[in-house]
Chain A
Amino acid sequence: HLQLQESGPGLVKPSETLSLTCTVSGDSIRSTTYYWGWIRQPPGKGLEWIGSVYSTGKTHSSPSLKSRVTISVDTSNNRFSLSLSSVTAADTAVYFCARLSRSLVLVPAATFFDYWGQGALVTVSS
């Protein structure tokens, strides 16, 4: 049974770097089938995709966050990580990690986030 678990500091000071790790259990992050992603949700607001990473380390990031985002993968420990630099109060959110799957119900394949972590609240405050 696949499980994802976010971990990291719950409080980050403005201008510093937010760092989170997602540990995957029940599946290998080395799988060539999946990407792994980060999504965030400010309190009371909607969902925002941050970026995704493949087992090879190839990444894609939201254009609005790209200059501040680093996503990496650690296949030895079956986990992937997010770093978001120069944070402000606007970066306060619940951060979710998720598995990005695909299905050939459509061609090219349909892609979707099918497994999610429980989420980690990160507050940016001095």
Chain B
Amino acid sequence: DIQMTQSPSSLSASVGDRVTITCRASQSISSYLNWYQQKSGKAPKLLIYGASSLQSGVPSRFSGSGSGTDFTLTITSLQPEDFATYFCQQSYSTPLFTFGPGTKVDIK
């Protein structure tokens, strides 16, 4: 099984900050890495697929990078609506999938 880890597990940031979240896979997953945003009480929302492709309708302040085992989600200028929990998910082992444990971004 491919295991996913994320760091940090939580972070506090201010509006306008640049935020970086890291996701690591237990083995190489090439670029088969997706990122989701989840707000409290809501369903996850797809942000990034294939490690760096921005989902339609997602603001350009979100970007993804990485390949192999190490990946990054960057928010260039944090907005009030970006306070949420972010999950990575590997699709290398399609049709089997695993998610990371999540990173909670809250207001400093």
A contacts, CB < 8 Å to B: 35, 39, 46-49, 52, 60, 62-63, 96, 98, 103, 105-106, 108, 110-114, 116-119
Let me know if A118 and B96 touch, CB within 8 A. Answer: no
**What residues of chain A lie closer than 8 Å to B97, measured between beta carbons?**
49, 111
Nearest CB of A to B8, in Å:
15
Interface of A is mostly: strand
- Alpha-carbon separation in the docked complex, A46 to B97 (Å): 13
Residue on A nearest B47 in the bound complex, by CB: A112
Q: Which of A35, A46, A106 contacts B32 (CB 8 A)?
A: A106
Apart from A49-B97, A103-B53, A112-B34, 5 more pairs, CB < 8 Å: A46-B99, A47-B44, A47-B87, A105-B50, A114-B55
**Could you give 5 example pairs across A and B, Cβ below 8 Å?**
A60-B95, A111-B32, A113-B34, A113-B89, A116-B44
Known: A46-B100, A105-B53, A119-B43. A35 touches B31 (CB 8 A): no
Known: A46-B99, A52-B95, A112-B91. A106 touches B30 (CB 8 A): yes
Interface of B is mostly: loop
Q: For the complex, is B81 an interface residue (Cβ under 8 Å from A)?
A: no
Let me know if B95 and A110 touch, CB within 8 A. Answer: no
Let me know if A111 and B91 touch, CB within 8 A. Answer: yes
Q: Which of B32, B49, B94, B96 contacts A63 (CB 8 A)?
A: B96
**What residues of chain A lie closer than 8 Å to B1, measured between beta carbons?**
63
Let me know if B96 and A60 touch, CB within 8 A. Answer: yes
Let me know if B95 and A35 touch, CB within 8 A. Answer: yes
0 or 1 for each of B81-108: is its CB under 8 Å from A? (1 = yes): 0000001010100111111111000000
Q: For the complex, is B19 an interface residue (Cβ under 8 Å from A)?
A: no
- Alpha-carbon separation in the docked complex, A96 to B99 (Å): 14
- Alpha-carbon separation in the docked complex, A119 to B34 (Å): 20
Let me know if B31 and A106 touch, CB within 8 A. Answer: yes
**What residues of chain A lie closer than 8 Å to B101, measured between beta carbons?**
46
Nearest CB of A to B58, in Å:
11
Nearest CB of A to B37, in Å:
11
Let me know if B43 and A117 touch, CB within 8 A. Answer: yes
Known: A105-B53, A112-B91. A47 touches B31 (CB 8 A): no
